[in-house]
Amino acid sequence: MNKTTIGISDISVYLPQNRILVEKILSKRSEDDPAFHTRLSRAIASTDQYAIRFPSQWEDSAVLAANATLRLLEQKPDPGEVRYLVVGSETTVDLSKSMSAYVQGMIAKSPTPLPTKLSSFQVQHACAGATLGMLSVAALIQAAGRPGESGIVVASDIARYDAPSTAEITQGSGAAAMLIEKNPKLLSFDLDSQGFSSSDVDDFFRPLGSTTAKVKGRYSVQCYNDALDEAFLDFCTRKGLTATEALEQTDYFVFHVPFAKMANTAVRRLLSNHLNIFGTEAEEFLAPRGFFSALDVTAYIGNMYTGAIYLNLMATLYQEYQKIGKDIVGKKILFSSYGSGNTMVVFDGVVMEDAPRIIEGWDPDDFLNHYQEVEFPEYEQWLNRVYDTANYNPETAGEPEAALAGRFYLHSIREDGYRDYRIKG
């Protein structure tokens, strides 16, 4: 039986405007503690990060998610019959209510409200949550077999770590929203051939009540690589390919990118293990596939957690389209989505015929520019920010004047802790 093609028809990304260079963080931390300078310098060199984005006071992860969703709907004001609204996040705003419900409530205040006859839920597994949600929605749409139905999947997170620390320069934030439907316009997935790996490890976690994640840097990289090895070989088995064939047939590698060098190292390990190519030869294999230039985008934004892989996807497709135009159609993508704690999903996709038209509708400034360079004091305010009834109100948040016209913002937090979101203008 022939199955309907399922995949992504469009993507939008929403990033907070605040950007600080990691060199500014290094300068201030070294001034406060000269002995820490060497350790932090080595951390910067080992990540290839140049800057991070962080939210304004009126932006939490739900606001980022809703603004990415609104932008997606603005790009495609008629998304068909939306049956699923799913958010993948590891920095949710509520321990009970799904972030997707808050997003639906915000979108209801916009010119493009979503229907109420839909399924709304949240998926959490560290940075893999959005991918797991996306593949689940794709499978549900395929199983239903009804024409015109679609789903919106949103990845939204704010990555925070203890500061000062060597992990500090791998923070970041942002959201990506994707339209999932049959006969997709951007790229399709093979839902029959996903490779999996899951284990119970403590490489990365965020205890209840903590605003910052706990990470064991080197161990987490090891867990990432071990899970990739197992999931990739599982993918190859289900695909009926040797590892060599799978890699040689891949045009683009789109990986989870918590920081630029981690994905770089992971891909090189695959190439060395299965194609026996190293160093310059590996670079010559990856460069024509746009791998390094796409990582440069992440290097100036930081870790989006669940959205990191989709920022990498968007950057890859946009930059490659600028180089080869309509020849991008039919290109094969190998995805690797990792969630600490841990799980890994490896799957593949194919760029669809309508992709050039979709990509031409993207504004590259959304993920390349539209930022405001800030100094350390403003960054430090973010690190010390507390979102509760006593500490958050419209006056201290500096909104709605600071909020962008036509975008959502956190207006206030009620005495019982419930968050009140509004749209400006």
Residue pLDDT, tens place only, 30-81: 999 999 999 999 999 999 999 999 999 899 999 999 999 999 999 876 777 9
pLDDT for position 78:
76
Cα-Cα-Cα-Cα dihedral sign, residues 249, 252, 216, 43:
positive
Q: What is the mean pLDDT of the chain?
A: 93
- Integer Cα distance of 123 and 98 in angstroms: 9
The neighbour count for residue 302, using CB atoms within 10 Å, is: 30
Cα-Cα-Cα-Cα dihedral sign, residues 15, 16, 21, 26:
negative
To the question of pTM greater than 0.85 for the whole model, the response is yes
Which has more pLDDT, 404 or 146? 146
- Integer Cα distance of 30 and 135 in angstroms: 44
Task: Give per-residue pLDDT as tens, 255-306.
Answer: 999 998 888 999 999 999 999 999 999 999 999 998 999 999 999 999 999 9
3-state helix, strand, coil in the chain (%, to 5): 40, 25, 35
Q: How far is CA 320 from the centre of its chain?
A: 19
- Integer Cα distance of 256 and 345 in angstroms: 10
Which has more pLDDT, 167 or 79? 167
- Integer Cα distance of 229 and 341 in angstroms: 16
pLDDT for position 3:
65
In the chain, the amino acid numbered 296 is D
Task: Give per-residue pLDDT as tens, 330-349.
Answer: 999 999 999 999 999 999 99
For 346, phi then psi, to 5°, come to -115, 130
pLDDT for position 211:
86
Residue 87 confidence (pLDDT) above 70: yes
Residue 309 confidence (pLDDT) above 60: yes
pLDDT for position 1:
42
| CATH tag for 6-379 (out of 3.40.50.300, 3.40.47.10, 1.10.10.10, 1.10.287.70) | 3.40.47.10
Sequence spans of domains, the chain: 6-379, 386-423
Task: Give per-residue pLDDT as tens, 119-144.
Answer: 999 999 999 999 999 999 999 999 99
